Amino acid sequence: MTGLSAFLLSALMLVPALLIAIPVHEMGHAAAAYFQGDRSVRYFGYFTLNPRRFLEPIGVIAVFVALVGWGRRVPVQPNRISTTRQRLVHILGGPAANLLVAIAFGLILRVLHAIGIHESPTLTTGVLAYLVYAIVFLNLSLFAFQLLPIPGLDGWDVLDTIFRSRNPRFFFNASVRRREIWAGAFAVYFIGQFIGIPVLGIVMTPFYQPASLISVGECIGYGVPRFNALYPCLL
């Protein structure tokens, strides 16, 4: 297979992977809200795995550029999801859903490996294993990426929920400066890419590596030849 064919196939595998991983993440938030009494998520059409309900253009582009991503947030009723415990369950519902899907598809990948089918970018039965591998990876990637403590991600929302009452000014200022924080994060990422330091892989490793070991028994990564790669397996 030529370099161009490998590039196209590796990129193509990300399409079904993101059509699963992003809706699963947002559906995890919706389900966590629904089972805690917020029926509005179902009434407004968020209790679904329809990708069109959850896909967000920039979040989809991020999947192909940086192998991480996000979707449209599921709004909830504050009067229904009001206590600290309820908010934490709602926030962690998305990453938990990605982890569960990664474990489920990880079992399928282990079975394929056990019967001698391994992921391959050639047009053989290895493509099936390649697809399952991509699905496992992207769900692990969203799980770990969303747990980072950056405003707008689930990890930040966890900190906000637990600590805002102790230092409201800090969290307010961070919220107001969210764009500047993201601009700085993008700058650090691209500078790291330019000088050969995998910044994203480093910061995701504490969440990604144990989740990958649980899912498939080893720490895996993913790469699109001659374009990008993400291997959060540095510990």
- CB atoms inside a 10 Å sphere around CB 141: 28
Q: Which of 26, 119, 180, 218 is catalytic?
A: 26
Catalytic annotation present for 26: yes
Whether residue 205 contacts residue 232, with contact meaning beta carbons closer than 8 Å, is answered with yes
Sequence-distant (6+) residues with CB within 8 A of 71 are: 22, 23, 25, 26, 54, 55, 56, 59
| Paired tokens of 32 | 């966590």
Whether residue 142 contacts residue 69, with contact meaning beta carbons closer than 8 Å, is answered with yes
CA distances from 192 to 91, 196, 199 (A): 29, 6, 6
Supply the residues annotated as catalytic: 26
